[in-house]
Amino acid sequence: MKLVSLLFALASVGSATAFAPAKIASRSMVSTNMAASEEFYIDEERRFLMNLILVGSATLTIGAIGVPYIAFFVPPGSGGGSGGTPAKDALGNDIFAQAYLQSKPANDRSLAQGLKGDATYLIVKEDKTLEKYGLNAVCTHLGCVVPWSPANNKFMCPCHGSQYAPDGSVVRGPAPLPLALAHLDVAEDGKILFSPWTEDDFRTGSKGWWN
Q: Is the pLDDT of residue 95 over 60?
A: yes
Q: Is the pLDDT of residue 99 over 60?
A: yes
The Cα 158–Cα 162 span in angstroms is 8
Q: Strand pairing partners for 200?
A: 207
β 181-186/170-172 pair status: unpaired
Hey, is 181 helix, strand or coil? strand
Which of 204, 126, 200 minimizes the C-alpha distance to 170? 204
pLDDT in tens, 43-80: 677 777 777 787 777 676 776 665 554 554 444 443 44
Under 8 Å between Cβ of 136 and 118: yes
Q: Which residue has the higher pLDDT, 101 or 7?
A: 101
The Cα 203–Cα 211 span in angstroms is 15
Number of CB atoms found within 10 A of residue 203's CB: 15
Under 8 Å between Cβ of 110 and 104: yes
Of 15-24, 60-69, 77-86, 135-144, the one with minimum mean pLDDT is 15-24
pLDDT value for 31: 54
69, amino acid identity: Y
